């Protein structure tokens, strides 16, 4: 990759090369992984620096799995600091114990081991994992996750000749070039994830179009795009056919909605190429909001595709279910005690001394208070709090994200996918529902909110647990733009939620307590 403008660049993307996996006829198989997390020298932009490696790799190993597979991932922490991995987009059905954020899990201490026991229950699609503590994500430790459909389930496009994971992130030195070799006439799948810290990006391939086929587990109508905006934490799958003249072509990533446009490139090299790339890389959109908004609205659910998908209250017709509750969430950037903080509904989150899930399980008092954050903007002064909001299991809710700042926001909800029913500029009101897409919007786990705008989602609360709702901007999240949604079932039944794992790490005020074995 290189920065063709001659200036320092803070975008980098990484290619993984994998072909479609073949599934055996077995019921919910187990896949075992052993990961050793270490420091090591990395050269993400051609400059040596210390990074976080998994099994000596940067980025980390790609996880290939099939719907309903059980993933047993044993993580050994050889860093000099605690470490924790979260699984962006994996829903952890009935199992928030495995979510891998500090509100649910104790970090893995230096020199220690923890084994995650995950099931990719009723999911397909493209996702990624990353370190969830502090700013470790800036040093690496992330990788791609692909969940393929079970072999009897038809996929709404022919098998591609190759299946490639592309991870795009922020970095801080000069870039260098990657080469991607393509035989001509074949079609390839790109799974593109924005694993960055702060920046929305635009992805494009010179002289080629991209057919969108999947967004974070939802098969989409197969619209064709010349470029795609991908916001923080989002993942897209596209098909690209090598049907142009046999030359080299630029693969371009550039920043969106930034005053200075940062650009990085790789090279798509036809196997029988007659010449190198020429000219400048193709330009893309920069600060324009309207084109990005229209592109997002054009992404629709493929209602005829088979495969696992959200099933609120036994029906795929999400638009026919009346929400029982509306939650409005407004982000802000207050100064609290003389320091820059970020907040949701005037509350800036502060971590407790004990993971909230453990405190809830062991009934440890004074760690958090349910209802410590309002479900609508208060307009009052911002304050610090370990904010937790209550929600009832099996209810169907509407969430409206309201952004009155000048920057694009990106929001992620752990444990769920949700239907993005509407987004627009200005103030949201009940009349905004008249413009909702109640038929074929996609279900996903991360959504953007444009400046001075709102985004509305519908979500079926069918997954008991303590779930993190957060800004995908790492600095904003770290400084308070997050909270936890406690989806509660009074039945306390294993049918609703798995018991605490017998290998659960216990820390803070939960240290020394005893867990029930599985």
Say if residue 193's pLDDT is above 70. yes
Cα-to-chain-centroid distance, residue 158? 26
Q: Measure the CA–CA gap between 218 and 420, rounded to whole angstroms.
A: 12
* Nearest of 505, 493, 500 to residue 516 by alpha carbon: 500
Q: Is 350 helix (H, G, I), strand (E, B) or coil?
A: coil
Q: Give per-residue pLDDT as tens, 27-72.
A: 689 999 999 999 999 887 677 889 999 999 999 999 999 999 999 9
Residue 10: per-residue pLDDT: 54
Higher pLDDT, 46 or 156: 156
Going from the C-alpha of 148 to that of each of 157, 158, 290, the distances in angstroms are 13, 13, 34
Residue 7: per-residue pLDDT:
31
pLDDT tens sequence across 273-319: 999 998 899 999 999 999 999 999 999 999 888 777 655 545 568 99
- Give yes or no for residue 23 having a pLDDT over 90: no
State the burial class of residue 406 (Cβ atoms within 10 Å of its Cβ: 0-12, 13-18, 19+): exposed
Q: Is 56 left (phi over 0), alpha (psi -120 to 50) or beta?
A: left
Q: What is the mean pLDDT of residues 225-254?
A: 96
Q: Determine whether 429 is exposed, middle or buried from the number of CB atoms within 10 Å of its CB (0-12, 13-18, 19+).
A: exposed
Residue range 95-113, pLDDT digits in tens: 999 999 999 999 999 999 9
Does 325-510 carry CATH code 2.60.40.420? yes
Q: Is the pLDDT of residue 165 over 60?
A: yes
With bands split at pLDDT 50, 70 and 90, how would you rate the model's confidence at 153?
Answer: confident
Instruction: Identify the pLDDT of residue 19.
Output: 45
CA 381 to chain centre: 31
Are the C-beta atoms of residues 216 and 444 closer than 8 Å to each other?
yes
- Asked whether residue 238 carries a pLDDT value surpassing 80, the answer given is yes
For the chain, give the mean pLDDT: 91
Assign residue 316 a region (left: φ > 0; alpha: ψ between -120 and 50; beta: otherwise). alpha
**Cis amide prior to 59 (ω within 30 degrees):** yes
Find residue 336's DSSP bridge partners: 339
Q: Comparing 290 with 22, which gets the higher pLDDT?
A: 290
Q: What percent of the chain has pLDDT over 70?
A: 91
Given a cut of 90, is residue 462 above it in pLDDT? Answer: yes
User: In this model, does residue 388 exceed pLDDT 50?
Assistant: yes
Specify the higher pLDDT residue, 26 or 90: 90
Q: Which fold has domain 162-287?
A: Immunoglobulin-like (2.60.40)
pLDDT exceeding 90 applies to what percent of the chain? 83
Tell me: pLDDT of 383 over 80: yes
Q: Could you give the CA distance from residue 32 to residue 61 in angstroms, rounded to a whole number?
A: 13
pLDDT given for residue 169 in this prediction: 83
What b/e string do you get for 490-502 counting C-beta neighbours within 10 Å, with b at 16 or more?
Answer: eeeeeebbbebbe
Residue 22 confidence (pLDDT) above 70: no
Q: How confident is the model at residue 13, as a pLDDT? A: 65
Query: Using one digit for the tens of pLDDT, what is the confidence trace for 312-342?
Result: 545 568 999 999 999 999 999 999 999 999 9
Joined tokens for residue 318:
């999400």
pLDDT of residue 44: 75
Q: Do domains 30-148 and 162-287 have the same CATH topology?
A: yes
Cα(242)–Cα(270) distance, integer angstroms = 8
The pLDDT-based confidence of 152 (bands split at 50, 70, 90) is confident
Over range 473-500, report the average pLDDT.
Answer: 96
Topology (CATH) of 30-148: Immunoglobulin-like (2.60.40)
pLDDT, mean of residues 217-245: 97
Where do the domains of the chain lie? 30-148, 162-287, 325-510
Contacts of 122 (CB under 8 A, 6+ apart): 67, 68, 91, 93, 308
Q: Could you write out the DSSP letters of every residue in 154-220? A: PPSSPPPSEEEEEEEEE--S-----EEEE-TT-EEEEEEEE--SS-EEEEEETT--EEEEEETTEEB
How much is the pLDDT for 346? 98
pLDDT category of residue 435 using cuts at 50, 70 and 90: very high
Query: What would the mean pLDDT of 499-513 be, rounded to a whole number?
Result: 95
Are the beta carbons of 457 and 467 closer than 8 angstroms? no
3-state percent helix, strand, coil for the chain, nearest multiple of 5 = 10, 40, 50
The pLDDT, as a whole number, for residue 179 is 65
């Amino acid at each position: 990759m290189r920065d063709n403008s001659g200036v320092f660049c803070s975008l980098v993307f990484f290619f993984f090369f994998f072909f479609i996996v073949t599934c055996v006829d077995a019921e919910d198989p187990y896949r075992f992984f052993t990961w050793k997390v270490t420091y090591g020298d990395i050269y993400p932009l051609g400059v040596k620096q210390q990074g976080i490696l998994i099994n000596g790799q940067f980025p980390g190993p790609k996880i290939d799995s099939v719907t309903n597979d059980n993933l047993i991932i044993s993580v050994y922490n050889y860093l000099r600091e605690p470490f924790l991995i979260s699984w962006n987009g994996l829903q952890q059905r009935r199992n928030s114990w495995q979510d891998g954020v500090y509100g649910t899990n104790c970090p893995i201490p230096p020199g220690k081991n923890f084994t995650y026991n995950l099931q990719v229950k009723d999911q397909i699609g493209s996702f990624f994992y990353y370190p969830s503590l502090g700013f470790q994500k800036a040093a690496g430790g992330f990788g791609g996750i692909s969940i393929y459909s079970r072999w009897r389930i038809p996929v709404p496009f022919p098998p591609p000749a190759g299946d490639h994971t592309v991870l795009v992130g922020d970095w801080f030195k000069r870039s260098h070039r990657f080469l991607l070799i393509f035989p001509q006439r074949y079609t390839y799948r790109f799974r593109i994830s924005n694993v960055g810290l702060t920046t929305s990006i635009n992805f494009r391939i010179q002289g080629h179009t991209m057919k969108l086929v999947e967004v974070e587990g939802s098969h989409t109508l197969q619209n064709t795009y010349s470029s795609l905006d991908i916001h923080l934490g989002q993942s897209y799958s596209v098909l690209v056919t090598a049907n142009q003249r046999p030359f080299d072509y630029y693969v371009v990533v550039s920043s969106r909605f930034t005053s200075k446009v940062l650009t990085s490139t790789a090279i798509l090299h036809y196997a029988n190429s007659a010449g190198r790339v020429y000219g400048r890389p193709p330009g893309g959109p920069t600060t324009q909001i309207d084109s990005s908004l229209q592109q997002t609205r054009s992404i629709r659910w493929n209602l005829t595709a088979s495969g696992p998908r959200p099933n609120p209250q036994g029906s795929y017709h999400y638009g026919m279910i009346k929400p029982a509750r509306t939650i409005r969430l407004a982000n802000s950037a207050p100064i609290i005690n003389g320091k820059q903080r970020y907040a949701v509904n005037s509350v800036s989150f502060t971590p407790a001394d004990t993971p909230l899930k453990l405190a809830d399980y062991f009934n440890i008092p004074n760690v958090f208070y349910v209802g410590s954050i309002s479900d609508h903007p208060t307009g009052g002064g911002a304050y610090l709090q370990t904010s937790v909001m209550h929600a009832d299991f099996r209810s169907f809710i509407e969430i409206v994200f309201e952004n009155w700042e000048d920057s694009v926001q990106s929001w992620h909800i752990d444990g769920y996918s949700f239907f993005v029913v509407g987004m627009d500029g200005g103030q949201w009101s009940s009349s905004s529902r008249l413009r909702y897409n109640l038929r074929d919007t996609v279900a996903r786990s991360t959504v953007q909110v444009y400046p001075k705008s709102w985004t509305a989602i519908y979500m079926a609360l069918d997954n008991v647990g303590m779930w993190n709702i957060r800004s995908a901007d790492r600095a904003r999240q770290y400084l308070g733009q997050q909270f936890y949604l406690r989806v509660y079932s009074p039945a306390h039944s294993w049918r609703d939620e798995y018991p605490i794992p017998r290998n659960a790490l216990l820390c803070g005020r939960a240290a020394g307590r005893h867990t029930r074995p599985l």
